[in-house]
Each structure stands twice: as structure tokens, then as C-alpha cells.
């Protein structure tokens, strides 16, 4: 078992801080409550139940104790591929720093004229 592996398992116990999983290779893992899904979980007992067969991803593995830190959240996020947006570099829409640079002298002149009037 190594970090990043996707392993099937069965939930054997649930505590307020996470769920214990018996993995298919007979090792034990823990899914911390923050790794169950993206966002806040009010009640872990409504999100998971003992006996559920699940697919998890290994976040960390301790070879000495043979215990794994697992995640369901990383697999959920893997399904949702969001288009990576460059906030200030979308030239097709004419947004970003270049239009600001072009308008800055105009805006400065307008502001100075306004201040002279007052």
C-alpha cells in the first residue's frame, strides 16, 4: 500500500471524529471527519453507516503500525473537474491588467478635473 492508492474497504466503526475502515488487504484505516466530503458535516452518523462498502484513497500509511489515513473527499473532488481560470489573463474577454493600464491615465485626468472643480 502506498499514498494515492485507491482501495476498497468496509466501515467497521464510527466515532464523532471519523470512521474506521477494514481494508481489502486486512489492514485498518481511519477516515477523518474532514476527509469524508467537501464542506461541513453536521452529523457523521448520517453521512456514513457501519457495513458500507466504500472506495477510499490512501493519504498516509504507517508501515510500522500498518494503519492508513484515508479519504473519500479526494475521490469526490476528482470527479468534479473545474475549468482552471486565470483571473487576470483572459484576453478573449478583454479583462485583466492591460485594459486597466490603458484607462488609468483617463481616470487620473478625470479625477484631477473633478478635484479642481471643488
Q: Which CATH class is domain 6-79?
A: mainly beta
Q: Are 59 and 69 in contact (CB under 8 A)?
A: yes
Sign of CA dihedral 112, 113, 116, 118: negative
Identify the pLDDT of residue 14: 92
Identify the pLDDT of residue 99: 73
pLDDT in tens, 72-115: 888 887 776 655 555 555 555 555 667 778 888 998 999 999 89
Q: Are 16 and 31 in contact (CB under 8 A)?
A: no
Q: Where are the domains of the chain?
A: 6-79, 83-118
Report the C-alpha gap between 90 and 96 in whole angstroms: 7
Identify the pLDDT of residue 37: 86
pLDDT in tens, 24-38: 888 889 999 998 888
Amino acid at each position: 500500500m502506498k499514498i494515492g492508492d485507491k482501495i476498497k474497504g468496509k466501515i467497521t466503526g464510527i466515532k464523532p471524529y471519523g470512521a474506521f475502515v477494514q481494508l481489502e488487504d486486512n489492514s485498518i484505516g481511519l477516515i477523518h471527519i474532514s476527509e469524508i466530503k467537501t464542506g461541513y458535516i453536521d452529523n457523521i452518523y448520517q453521512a456514513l453507516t457501519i457495513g458500507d462498502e466504500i472506495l477510499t484513497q490512501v493519504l498516509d500509511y504507517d508501515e510500522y503500525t500498518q494503519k492508513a489515513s484515508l479519504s473519500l473527499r479526494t475521490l469526490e473532488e476528482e470527479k468534479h473537474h473545474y475549468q482552471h481560470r486565470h483571473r487576470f489573463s483572459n484576453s478573449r474577454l478583454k479583462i485583466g491588467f492591460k485594459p486597466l493600464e490603458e484607462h488609468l491615465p483617463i481616470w487620473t485626468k478625470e479625477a484631477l478635473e473633478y478635484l479642481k472643480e471643488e
